[in-house]
Amino acid sequence: MKGKLITLEGIDGSGKSTIWRLLQNEAIFCDCIFTREPTTSWLGDAVNRALHSNTDHITELMLFLADHADHIARLIRPSLESGLNVISDRYSASRCAYQGSTLEGLFDDPLEWVRSLHKGWTINPDLIILFDIDPAVAVKRCSTRKEQSKFEKIEFLKTVRNNYLRLAAEDRGKFVIIDTDKPLDEVKDEVFRIIAQALEVRKY
């Protein structure tokens, strides 16, 4: 691929979506494609319907995967092939971390099973920035939002965080972990610097 793929990951309330929005206003990143999962397509709508109902966990995973496949075919692959850099708010690691938790008890190692479902067709990111935070702090941040996800519960997010940390430990070359329990400006500077360096754009 000619372009680079950078993904932002972390539990609900970790601050990644805020930083993703701020990145879009920064001139040095104006040539990047900004995207997210779940996407804004009809498949992303289906995912959101599942997220706001009692949909079975396997069904929910399959919807997330369908949205991911469409995302790759429609936007990620063509952009990277044409040399554009892509920055995505959530990507495959969200599935491994979240569905790795929702499917706990159904499989010996649900995270590994979810990861294996991506093999052979997904496009792996060049860099994954993990926004790491204590779930208690994250849930407090989420409580001021209008629309809340059914996943925003401390006990559940603790398992999701552990899954993220396991993914990072197993793939040290790809992951950068950032502690986001600090002022937004500090997180922003750190993330901007890491992305600028990865994309070899003028130093931030």
Does residue 126 sit in helix, strand or coil? coil
Shortest Cβ distance from residue 149 to ligand TYD (Å)? 4
Report the site for ligand TYD in 44-63 (rule: CB under 6 A).
51
Token output for 68: 């991911």
Q: CA of 108: how far to CAs of 3, 101, 104, 143, in Å?
A: 37, 12, 8, 33
**Which amino acid does the sequence have at 151?**
F
Torsion of CA 176, 196, 23, 132, to 10 degrees: 10
71 binds ligand TYD (CB under 6 A): no
Shortest Cβ distance from residue 203 to ligand TYD (Å)? 29
Report the site for ligand TYD in 5-24 (rule: CB under 6 A).
12, 17
Residue number with CB closer to ligand TYD (37 or 132): 37
Residue number with CB closer to ligand TYD (74 or 204): 74
Q: CA of 96: how far to CAs of 42, 114, 141, 184, in Å?
A: 22, 6, 23, 27
41 binds ligand TYD (CB under 6 A): no
Residues that bind ligand TYD (CB under 6 A): 12, 17, 37-38, 51, 64, 90, 94-95, 98-99, 149, 151
